[in-house]
Chain A
Amino acid sequence: MTTAVASLPRSARAGRAEGRRSHSGAVLGALAWLIAIVFVVPVLWMILTSFHSESDASTNPPSIGAPLTLAGYRDFFGSSTGTSPWPYLANSATASIVSTILVLLLAIPAAYALSIRPVRKWTDVMFFFLSTKMLPPVAGLLPIFLFAQKVDMLDNIFLLIILYTSMNLPIAVWMMRSFLAEVPPAILEAASIDGAGLLYQLRKIIVPIAMPGIAATSLICFIFSWNELLFARVLTGVMAQTGPVFLTSFVTSQGLFLAKVCAAATIVSLPVLVAGFAAQDKLVQGLSLGAVK
């Protein structure tokens, strides 16, 4: 009798607590949705506006249901001005892809010498790499500009490739080291006892294990190079201008331009959006310098 009396309220209490928890769970879930929508509204607004006509894009209150048109995109691709953005997008792609390959070629051996067969004081080397990221690039910009002027490298995509390589190399070394540190030394020892050479070890053991890390590193280096503005703005002119610089030169005209700007912003962001969404986990690994796996 007493047990029954005692157990009844307890189960009732538990049930109530359960109900409260699932209730508050739904509230918290809704809150998460609400915050995510607030954060994504500017992006949706950009995409929607890019498909509106210039006059619909600049109404107040906004014309959300206005008819869709490709006029903004046609304008961006030069239907009215005659300037095609393709050379600039191609420059961005060249600078980003070539510098990413160079970064990998320099960073993977360096990371090998910092993890699998480490040099003495390798932690000091790691911190030297990271410390170069903390110095503002703008402080070294003037000598680079003067040097480029002297050797006739201004407005040359190779200069940007070199600078982007140096900009991303420290990040890549940090990331690749943390991924190569995953390779179990025992396997390498066993392989070398069995007579496997360094190249064989690299090809059959190290690269397969580090492949996800190489992908994450490439993604981050590509995004940072693609996004870069300061160097590109100061060091390029007509020939080597990149996508972001082209974007800034876009808003000089009088009159309505919001739809065109939104179309341009969407196109320039598209490679990063696609790559980033496709490889969300790689993004996390990369942004945390490989600390988060």
Chain B
Amino acid sequence: MTSQLTAAQPAPVQAGRARKGARRSRAGKLPARERWIRRAPLLPGLIFLIIVTQLPFVATLVISFSRWNALSPSHKGWAGFGNYRKVFSDPTLRASVLFTIVMTATVVLVSLLLGLVIAVLLDRAFFGRGIVRTLMIAPFLIVPVAAALLFKHGIYNPSYGLLNGTLNAIWKLFGAHAPQPDWLTAHPKIMLEAELIWQWTPFMMLILLAGLQSRDREVVEAAYVDGASPWQAFRFITLPHMRKYLELGGLLGTIYIVQNFDSVFTITSGGLGTANLPYSIYQTFYSAHDYGLASAQGVVVVVGSLIIATFALRVVSSLFREEVGR
């Protein structure tokens, strides 16, 4: 596997930057006709994306100020900030904001850490390394709904799930009765997070392994020659090199896990305090039919996402700036 972050090529970067500069200044002085010729291939995609993803948000914003419940259409009218007052005074919604943050942080951090450990283990030669890598990818390739169903019924189920089944099998060896907890009722949040960590660790592992393999081996060797311990080599050479890969994995993981709907919907249906924001909005809209309130929730989520996104985009742009130089 030839894997390296495109930024990690010092020599061409210099030349590329000079060329880039020339190209940009040329583009700056282009006649209007040429500028439109350059823009033309971009426009279909850009316009399509604005219409399909941005216009609905504008509509959401408008609807959020209206009193509109599909179950009582005669009540439709202007609500002012009424829906927003409901959003901020509703304790269940506050709980779902909190759970969304906790769930995302837990899943992203644990799967990054696990992914890093596994990537470090896989970075060294050992018997069957290719097979281990292939096996490790499998969880990520199970359709999320299928994985959630599998965990709910096949693994967490108290009477015939694999977890309690295994406990039973082990305790039986000693002639004892195993505890048979109802995992989902007892620890709904942890079980939900565990399923997501199982699916996302391979994702992190793949990105981090590619990062490890793009590292300059000679630098590490040189550190060993100079008497560095394996821990020192990892801490002072590997980890700084891995920073951008950790950031990339963290950012992409956050984008996908914040928006998770499949697992919450399938495993707990938002019960027992596991309703995250996407699920709560879905509920308000799909079950309660309160379109005004659902839209206000949506707007609040969008504003929150924008705040996180600005921060996240700064991270990406630091990755990106190195690459722009090419």
**In the complex, residue of chain A having the shortest beta-carbon distance to the beta carbon of B59:** A143
Give A229 to B261 CA distance when docked, in angstroms. 8
For the complex, is A7 an interface residue (Cβ under 8 Å from B)? Answer: no
CB distance from A124 to the nearest CB of B (A): 10
| Cβ < 8 Å to A, chain B residues 232-284 | 245, 248, 252, 255, 258-259, 261-262, 265-266, 277-278, 281-282
Contact A43-B302, Cβ < 8 Å, known A106-B44, A110-B46, A138-B259:
no
Asked if B281 and A139 sit within 8 Å, CB to CB, the answer is: yes
Asked if B53 and A132 sit within 8 Å, CB to CB, the answer is: yes
Apart from A40-B136, A137-B259, A143-B63, list 5 A-B contacts with CB within 8 A: A40-B135, A41-B162, A42-B147, A42-B154, A289-B248
Asked if B45 and A173 sit within 8 Å, CB to CB, the answer is: yes
CB distance from A94 to the nearest CB of B (A): 17
Number of interface residues of B (CB under 8 A): 120
Give A292 to B54 CA distance when docked, in angstroms. 29
CB distance from B284 to the nearest CB of A (A): 9
Give A166 to B312 CA distance when docked, in angstroms. 21
For the complex, is A214 an interface residue (Cβ under 8 Å from B)? Answer: no
Contact A39-B138, Cβ < 8 Å, known A29-B126, A136-B302, A181-B6:
yes
| Neighbouring B residues of A31 by C-beta, 8 Å | 121
| Neighbouring A residues of B165 by C-beta, 8 Å | 59-62
For the complex, is B231 an interface residue (Cβ under 8 Å from A)? Answer: no
Q: What are 6 A-B residue pairs whose CB atoms fall within 8 Å in the complex?
A: A32-B122, A62-B165, A140-B60, A248-B145, A265-B146, A284-B207
Asked if A166 and B162 sit within 8 Å, CB to CB, the answer is: no
Q: Which of A35, A62, A136, A185 has the most CB of B within 10 A?
A: A136
Interface segment, one of B89-97, B215-223, B317-325: B317-325
Residue from the list A57, A138, A139 in contact with B160, Cβ < 8 A: A57
**In the complex, residue of chain A having the shortest beta-carbon distance to the beta carbon of B201:** A39
1/0 per residue, CB under 8 A from A, across B122-135: the answer is: 10101111001111
Interface segment, one of A67-75, A80-88, A271-279: A271-279
| Neighbouring A residues of B118 by C-beta, 8 Å | 32, 35-36
Asked if B285 and A142 sit within 8 Å, CB to CB, the answer is: yes
For the complex, is A236 an interface residue (Cβ under 8 Å from B)? Answer: no
For the complex, is B38 an interface residue (Cβ under 8 Å from A)? Answer: yes
Asked if B146 and A58 sit within 8 Å, CB to CB, the answer is: no
For the complex, is A156 an interface residue (Cβ under 8 Å from B)? Answer: no
Asked if B210 and A292 sit within 8 Å, CB to CB, the answer is: yes
Residue from the list A126, A268, A284 in contact with B146, Cβ < 8 A: A268
Q: How many A-B residue pairs have CB under 8 A?
A: 341
CB distance from A141 to the nearest CB of B (A): 7
Residue from the list B124, B133, B301 in contact with A28, Cβ < 8 A: B124
| B residues adjacent to A (C-beta < 8 A) | 1-7, 19, 23-24, 27-28, 35, 38-42, 44-46, 48-49, 52-57, 59-60, 63, 117-118, 121-122, 124, 126-129, 132-147, 149-151, 153-155, 157, 159-160, 162, 164-166, 168-169, 172, 180, 198, 201-203, 206-207, 209-211, 214, 245, 248, 252, 255, 258-259, 261-262, 265-266, 277-278, 281-282, 285-286, 291, 294-295, 298-299, 301-302, 305-306, 308-309, 312-313, 316-317, 319-320, 323-324, 326
| Neighbouring A residues of B210 by C-beta, 8 Å | 284, 288, 292
CB distance from A113 to the nearest CB of B (A): 4
| Neighbouring B residues of A59 by C-beta, 8 Å | 160, 165
Give A84 to B127 CA distance when docked, in angstroms. 44
Residue from the list B7, B146, B278 in contact with A138, Cβ < 8 A: B278
| Neighbouring A residues of B320 by C-beta, 8 Å | 123, 126
| Cβ < 8 Å to B, chain A residues 7-49 | 25-26, 28-29, 31-33, 35-37, 39-43, 45-46, 49
CB distance from A215 to the nearest CB of B (A): 15
| Neighbouring B residues of A35 by C-beta, 8 Å | 117-118, 121, 136
For the complex, is A208 an interface residue (Cβ under 8 Å from B)? Answer: no
For the complex, is A134 an interface residue (Cβ under 8 Å from B)? Answer: yes
